[in-house]
Amino acid sequence: MRAEIARAVALLRAGELVAFPTETVYGLGADAANAAAVAKIFAAKGRPSEHPLIVHLPSADHLARWARELPAEAEKLAAAFWPGPLTLILRRRPEVHDAVTGGQDTVGLRVPSHPLALELLAAFDGGIAAPSANRFGRISPTTAAHVREELGGRVPLVLDGGACPVGIESTILDLSRGAPVLLRPGAIGAADLARVLGRAPELAAPKAEAPRVSGSLEAHYAPRTPLQLVSSDGLLFALRNALVAGEKVAVLAPTAQAISHDLVTWTQAPAEPAGFAHDLYASLRALDALGCVRILVQQPPAGEAWLAVNDRLRRAAAGSGEEDET
């Protein structure tokens, strides 16, 4: 793998793209200090240029290269959770490119915990801007095969680090405006953050004045097959209606298969939130490839433990059933 890391570093320094694993999802990386290289991310993904990117760092020691202000809370959180799935939104230094920040005065920063990502970042010795390595708005990739299937020749190199252990994107916490505000839920929950901060972060209000961040659009993480969230009571009702109509359907639910039929593909999801999150995107990709009329997903429970999973499913349902723009 050392030869692959050396090749990846050479490509990044030459302004090219490299896909690499993190503990959350696979990222599509470019040298964050090279605006022309960053522009290739947007072209490969079909991503609107005003959407900011997260800069991945080798260690917290690199924070001052990107953030002009380092609140004490940022240092505490970095010490507690980095390397790990937490992105901090901080006031950017003036030399940070608008291409990375979407023209905003803030920048998202994190240190991933995947050993291959850390090896790449240490060898590169700089910031790598990296959103998820998929077409914009689609299901995030959690294996190298997912990246190759979706982006193919758009990426010169895909580093294969196996399946991502977390499986959904990082928690995003805004520290740029005083009180900490949770902008995107993830594996690190509000209670985890509160234990370090000494207070619970505020939850971002709909349409509130806040920095734009990755994954915050109402429609995101979406399969091409229409996805419908249904209650546990409503699942069998929706399934029977689909069968009466002669529809081929896929089901994702934490319960064992309740109806056996040639038109039904049933995937049993883990019943606890970390396991559900880990399998979510791979399951949705597999079900999306079946050519079904719809995907029925049993709505997980409410509550903080399920906040991140429910966030991803809600956005996936909102964006599902739409073809990619070319």
CB 31 within 8 A of CB 12: yes
- Which residues partner with 27 through β-bridges? 20, 132
- Taking CA atoms, 75 is separated from 90, 154, 217, 285, in Å, by 12, 37, 29, 37
How far apart are the C-alpha atoms of 98 and 96, rounded to whole Å?
7
CB 133 within 8 A of CB 28: yes
**Section 48-53 average pLDDT:** 91
Q: How many CB atoms lie within 10 A of CB 231?
A: 10
Helices (H), 46-178: 72-81, 98-101, 115-124, 144-151
Q: State residue 282's pLDDT score.
A: 98
Q: Over 90: is that where the pLDDT of 97 sits?
A: yes
Q: State residue 326's pLDDT score.
A: 41
How far apart are the C-alpha atoms of 264 and 248, rounded to whole Å?
6
**Section 200-208 average pLDDT:** 77
| Bigger pLDDT: 152 vs 160 | 160
Per-residue confidence band for 210, with pLDDT thresholds at 50, 70 and 90: low
Mean pLDDT of the chain: 94
Q: Which tokens hold the place of 169?
A: 């994107």
Q: Quickly tell me which residue has 């998929």 as its tokens.
A: 134
Cis peptide before 83 (omega within 30 of 0): yes
- How many residues are present in the chain? 326
Q: State residue 206's pLDDT score.
A: 61
* 113-135: pLDDT as tens digits: 999 999 999 999 999 999 999 99
Torsion sign (Cα): 157, 162, 163, 166: negative
Q: Over 80: is that where the pLDDT of 211 sits?
A: no
**Helix, strand, coil shares, percent, the chain, to 5:** 35, 20, 45
Q: Over 70: is that where the pLDDT of 1 sits?
A: no
User: DSSP code of 299?
Assistant: P
* 228-265: pLDDT as tens digits: 999 999 999 999 999 999 999 999 999 999 889 999 99
The letter for the amino acid at 73 is E
Residues in CB range of 155: below 8 A, 6 or more apart: 17, 18, 19, 28, 44, 133, 147
* 155-202: pLDDT as tens digits: 999 999 999 999 999 999 999 998 999 999 999 999 999 999 999 999
Q: Over 90: is that where the pLDDT of 323 sits?
A: no
Domain annotation for the chain: domains and CATH numbers: 2-203 (3.90.870.10), 227-319 (3.40.50.11030)
**Section 31-48 average pLDDT:** 96
- Taking CA atoms, 286 is separated from 148, 225, 252, in Å, by 15, 11, 11
Q: State residue 178's pLDDT score.
A: 87
Percent of the residues in the chain that have a pLDDT greater than 90, as a whole number: 88
Per-residue confidence band for 203, with pLDDT thresholds at 50, 70 and 90: confident
Residues in CB range of 301: below 8 A, 6 or more apart: none
Q: Quickly tell me which residue has 């947007």 as its tokens.
A: 42
Q: State residue 290's pLDDT score.
A: 97
Q: Over 70: is that where the pLDDT of 153 sits?
A: yes
| Bigger pLDDT: 206 vs 84 | 84
